[in-house]
Amino acid sequence: MRNNPPLSSDPASSSRGGTSKTPSTPTSSSLETPVIPKTRHYMLNFMQTPESPMFSQADKEKIHKQKGELHVEIAALTQHRNQLRLELNKIKASIVSQGELTFLKAETRGQISSSNSSHLKELMNVFVDTIRDISASRATCSILEQKIKEESQRRTQIVEESQSVAGSLDFSDLSIFFPKLPQHECRPISKNEDQEIRRLLQKLQDIRKDTINCEGVIKASNPKHKETALEIARSAESQWQLKSVGTISLRNEIQRLQRAVATSDSQIRKLESAVESEHQKVAEAQMKQQKEESEALSNLNHGKEEFAKTMDIIEEEINQLNIRIKSSSQIYDNLMEELHQLDNQKKIIHTNLQNDNDDKNNDNDDDDKIFDFDEAPQSQNAIDLQNKKQELQKEIENLKHQVNRQKKKAKIKETKMMSDIKKLQVRYKTCRATIQKSCVQISELDSGSVTGEIKSLIQKIDTSITDLQSVINNQ
């Protein structure tokens, strides 16, 4: 659209250097009633006569009506644009971006993983110490049980030996019995039998002498012998007492170790219950987090849909504004072209009249004034419309710049969130390596079912962490 200069009529001057007349702006009364210039009866201006006016009253009313309607439409559109801008600012302030959501998710997951990892490390350290104490106590118990068995076997052997010695030295049950042989059954004894009898008699006499000597020794009752016997008995009794004290101390030690084993078992059960409770808490936290994520995603999708709808509405309104602006500019161009044509015709007539005035007498200079039609209000309205059009175009450009700026900010936030996610992945890998190392240490201890439960718990934690990582990667 070209920029046409505002129309201005050249002042009518006399041929002899008279005074110049500036055009006066016509008012509403002058527009309503045509002004008839002061001319001679033979010089009538055919451009403005009651028979053929430049603009009819209906055209003037139509132009004023269109002008008022355009002003009203522009005011309504500007007000609607301001309302849409306020709604857009509210939507931008209320909507949470995808980058902020991912950052909040990563931050909450990092806090949960850090708290759970520290607590899990403490529990694992306590569990490892408890297992070591239990294994040491079991080893000491097995050693002491073996010592008790050996000591009991040795004591039973000593008791059996003492009983066998006492039984072998007990001659109280022995009695000498000589059978009586009848005389009539005697037969002649051979030499061998006689020698055997003599030998046995000699042996019997020796036995009698020994018994007599033993009885004498017993009857003599030497006090030294009694003291030695008493000392021997006392030493044996003291040895038995010492051995009984040792067995009592061993029994007490065994009972103490059994109590320690029972307490350690109770502590292990408590730790297992604590681990189960922590696992339940982790599962509840995961469920809660999944619920929050689903709600946030639904809210985000709803917000995106609403934002897309509002943006579509704004785009439609902007397109309608552009169409209206183009139509008004086209009307303005048509009016300007018509006014330009009229201005050219007026200039031609004005030059012709000026040439005629040069041929006249100087007395008729004051009567040869031509009325200049000034179209300043129409040109001013056109300039106002042009300025409003430029303002609307500037506002549209500003909105486009703001949209591009918001896109750049979103891109920067997205890159920042991706870097944070990568950092969290590196941290996850380090935590997983530490957990695997602790799992290897537990497997070296070989503590049976408890170790298997801890391994399964660690595997569950690992699978949950991998699930969380897959969710993050999918988002």
The type of residue at 251 is: R
Give pLDDT, residue 150. 87
Q: How many domains does the chain have?
A: 1
Rounded Cα gap, residues 410 and 345, in angstroms: 60
Q: How many residues does the chain have?
A: 475
pLDDT digits (tens, 9 = 90+) for 265-306: 788 888 888 888 888 888 887 787 778 777 777 777 776 787
Q: Is the residue at 28 inside a domain? A: no
Q: Is residue 252 part of a domain?
A: no
Identify the DSSP state of 365.
Answer: G
Query: Does residue 316 lie within any of the structural domains?
Result: yes
- Are 4 and 340 in contact, with CB atoms under 8 Å apart? yes
Predicted local distance difference test score (pLDDT) of residue 12: 38
Is the pLDDT assigned to residue 198 strictly greater than 80? yes
Q: 9 pLDDT band (50/70/90 cuts)? A: very low
Instruction: Write down the pLDDT at residue 102.
Output: 82
- Residues 7/339, Cβ–Cβ less than 8 Å: yes
- Full domain range(s) for residue 309: 56-112+277-356+374-474
| Sequence-separated (6 or more) residues with CB below 8 Å from residue 356 | 43
Band of residue 370 on the pLDDT scale cut at 50, 70, 90: very low
The answer to whether position 191 is within a domain reads no
pLDDT digits (tens, 9 = 90+) for 224-268: 666 666 677 677 777 676 666 666 766 777 777 778 777 877 888
Distance CA 233, CA 238 (A): 9
Q: What is the pLDDT of residue 410?
A: 66
Q: What percent of the chain has pLDDT over 90?
A: 0
Residue 451 corresponds to which amino acid? T
Average pLDDT, the chain: 69
Asked if 6 and 358 touch (Cβ cutoff 8 Å), the reply is no
Is pLDDT larger for residue 122 or for residue 2?
122
In-domain check, residue 40: no
Is there a contact between 87 and 310 (Cβ–Cβ < 8 Å)? yes
Share of the chain above pLDDT 70, in %: 55
